[in-house]
């Protein structure tokens, strides 16, 4: 059956991911809002700790994305039995990776944070958060595999259901454990971390139940647990390893950005955490449509229809831009109302508003940059995608350093660095798709 690549099918794949991502970001929003009402210290510490956590988890996320590309390619080829074998081999790898990352977080994270965080209050609150949140890695890595499988076969509704379920669980336990409600202990920032771990565990149970009951496991030969196929691992790692490094570096650079901001002051860090939460929410459709483009590019290449790649990317950019334009337009009607979700302090709201206007402009460019970049990854040439990302991140960090240390700009000026990132990413990705030889790539 020929893969459909029209606007309708792009939307069909993307909208469940959008719904799931909205739910995921509601989790981030409620974390930030609850902690913002707790204290500015808790708000700033959560920003540092959360980005540090996700920088580490990005290694698992990168392997999951590589697995998604391979699964989508096998789906396009009609080689369904090979999908299950790929899934099982990825499961072996991610289980071991999760244990390694957990050990790293528990043993090394405090020492790393101690050496790079200026404020003692921020440091202690951050380590409190990570000491609990680290346990969620065990569940998160397996959840990433299920996400890769369902996006790879373009059955994305389960992503929205699972993440909505996760949001409900997380919000309930956030409120209960941060503030000590419903007979539960008052844990403050540790409560936010524990709520996230509980939610991750519940989602894993959801994925398992859904897969065993609703997914044609015989068709895909899931959970057959075959013997180790070295050749398959070579293929998986060839695609996934560059994405692991790429995603780790991307989040690490954002972590470095927040370390620069933390040295500017606790108020600037609190502002940036609010902006981060709003920014990520606006970016939801960008990442969802980009995932759809990534999957469809890999699927049509599996069918041998390389001429469909560029049209898929440009259709996706149009849909993604319209969605972001709508969100930015709604937010501009009353930016104070948006910011007040996170804090009631008038001074903090006023200081955050100029930064919000800066990111609105950048957000309108991201549908172009991210979709083009995910198109590069979807071709299976993830090593070249990693090289593009490394060059772009180097330019980005250079821009951040210049804005803070050389020009001594305010926090709103520092966030201009987002424009550096997206413009360089878009240009690098377009040049690759335009001039490189990617049409015969194998995964």
Q: How far apart are CA 14 and CA 323, in angstroms?
A: 11
Identify the band that residue 55 occupies on the pLDDT scale cut at 50, 70 and 90: confident
| Average pLDDT in the chain | 90
pTM of the model: 0.85
CB 297 within 8 A of CB 273: no
Assign 281 a pLDDT band (cuts: 50, 70, 90): confident
Q: What is the pLDDT of residues 66-125, one digit of tens each?
A: 999 999 999 999 999 999 999 999 999 999 999 999 999 999 999 998 887 878 888 888
- Beta-carbon contacts of 314 under 8 Å, excluding residues fewer than 6 positions away, are none
At residue 388 the predicted structure's pLDDT band, cuts being 50, 70 and 90, is very high
Model pLDDT, residue 443: 79
255-259, 317-321, 354-358, 374-378: lowest mean pLDDT where?
255-259
Residue 313, pLDDT > 80, answer yes
pLDDT at 254 over 90: no
Structure tokens at 390: 């490394």
pLDDT tens digits along 334-352: 999 999 987 888 999 999 9
Contacts of 106 (CB under 8 A, 6+ apart): 131, 134
Find the length of the chain: 443
Whole-number pLDDT of residue 119: 82
pLDDT at residue 280 is higher than 90: no
What is the SS3 string spanning the chain?
CCCCCCHHHHHHHHHHHHHHHHHHHHHHHHHHHHHHHHCHHHHHHHHHHHHHHHHHHHHHHHHHHHHHHHHHHHHHHCCHHHHHHHHHHHHHHHHHHHHHHHHHHHHHHHHHHHHHCCCHHHHHHHHHHHHHHHHHHHHHHHHHHHHHHHHHCCCCHHHHHHHHHHHHHHHHHHHHHHHCCCCCCCCCHHHHHHHHHHHHHHHHHHHHHHHHHHCCHHHHCCCCCCCCCHHHHHHHHHHHHHHHHHHHHHHHHHHHHHHHHHHHCHHHHHHHHHHHHHHHHHCHHHHHHHHHHHHHHHHHHHHCCHHHHHHHHHHHHHHHHHHHHHHHHHHHHCHHHHHHCCCCCHHHHHHHHHHHHHHHHHHHHHHHHHHHHHHHHHCCCHHHHHHHHHHHHHHHHHHHHHHHHHCCCCHHHHCCHHHHHHHHHHHHHHHHHHHCCCCCCCC
Q: Return the residue matching tokens 């360089």.
A: 424
What pLDDT is stored for residue 1 in this prediction? 57
Whole-angstrom Cα distance, residue 327 to residue 194? 31
Of the two residues 378 and 3, the one the predictor is more confident about is 378
Give the residue from 52, 39, 21 showing the smallest Cα distance to 323. Answer: 21
Q: In the chain, what percentage of residues exceed pLDDT 70?
A: 98
CA angle 425, 396, 46 (to 5 degrees): 110
pLDDT at 308: 93
Record the tokens describing residue 103, joined without a space: 């050990």
For the ranges 50-64, 110-124, 264-278, 391-405, the one whose mean pLDDT is highest: 391-405
């Amino acid at each position: 059956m020929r893969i459909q690549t029209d606007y309708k099918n792009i939307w069909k794949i993307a909208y469940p991911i959008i719904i799931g991502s909205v739910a995921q970001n509601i989790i981030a929003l409620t974390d930030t809002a609850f902690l913002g009402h707790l204290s500015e210290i808790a708000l700033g510490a959560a920003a540092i700790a959360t980005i540090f956590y996700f920088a580490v988890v990005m290694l698992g996320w990168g392997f999951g994305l590589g697995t998604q590309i391979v699964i989508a390619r096998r789906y396009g080829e009609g080689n369904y039995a090979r999908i299950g074998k790929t899934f099982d081999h990825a499961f072996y790898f991610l289980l071991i990776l999760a244990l390694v990352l957990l050990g790293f977080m528990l043993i090394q994270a405090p020492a790393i944070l101690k050496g790079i965080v200026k404020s003692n209050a921020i440091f202690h609150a951050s380590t409190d958060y990570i000491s609990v949140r680290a346990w969620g890695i065990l569940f998160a890595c397996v959840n990433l595999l299920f996400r890769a499988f369902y996006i790879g076969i373009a059955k994305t509704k389960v992503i929205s259901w699972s993440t909505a379920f996760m949001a409900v669980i997380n919000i309930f336990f956030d409120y209960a454990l941060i503030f000590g409600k419903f007979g539960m202990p008052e844990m403050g920032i540790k409560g936010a971390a524990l709520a996230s771990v509980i939610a991750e565990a519940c989602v894993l149970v959801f994925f398992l139940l859904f897969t065993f009951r609703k997914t044609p496991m015989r068709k895909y030969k899931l959970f057959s647990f075959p013997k180790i196929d070295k050749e398959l691992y070579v293929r998986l790692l060839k695609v996934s390893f560059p994405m692991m490094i790429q995603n780790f570096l991307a989040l690490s650079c954002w972590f470095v950005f927040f370390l620069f901001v933390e040295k500017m002051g606790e108020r600037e860090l609190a502002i940036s955490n609010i902006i981060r939460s709003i920014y990520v929410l606006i970016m939801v459709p960008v990442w969802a449509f980009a995932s759809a483009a990534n999957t469809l590019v890999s699927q049509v290449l599996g069918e041998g229809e390389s001429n469909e790649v560029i049209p898929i990317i440009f259709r996706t950019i149009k849909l993604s831009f319209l969605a972001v334009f709508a969100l930015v337009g709604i937010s501009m009607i009353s930016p104070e109302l948006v910011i007040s979700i996170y804090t009631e302090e008038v001074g903090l709201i006023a200081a955050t508003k100029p930064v919000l206007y800066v990111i609105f402009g950048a957000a309108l460019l991201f549908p172009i940059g991210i979709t083009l970049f995910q198109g590069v990854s979807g071709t299976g040439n993830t090593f070249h995608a990693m090289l593009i990302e490394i060059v772009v991140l180097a330019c980005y960090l250079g821009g951040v350093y210049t804005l803070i240390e050389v020009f001594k700009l305010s926090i709103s000026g520092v966030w201009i660095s987002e424009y550096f990132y997206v413009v360089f990413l878009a240009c690098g990705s377009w040049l690759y798709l335009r001039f490189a030889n990617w049409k015969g790539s194998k995964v």
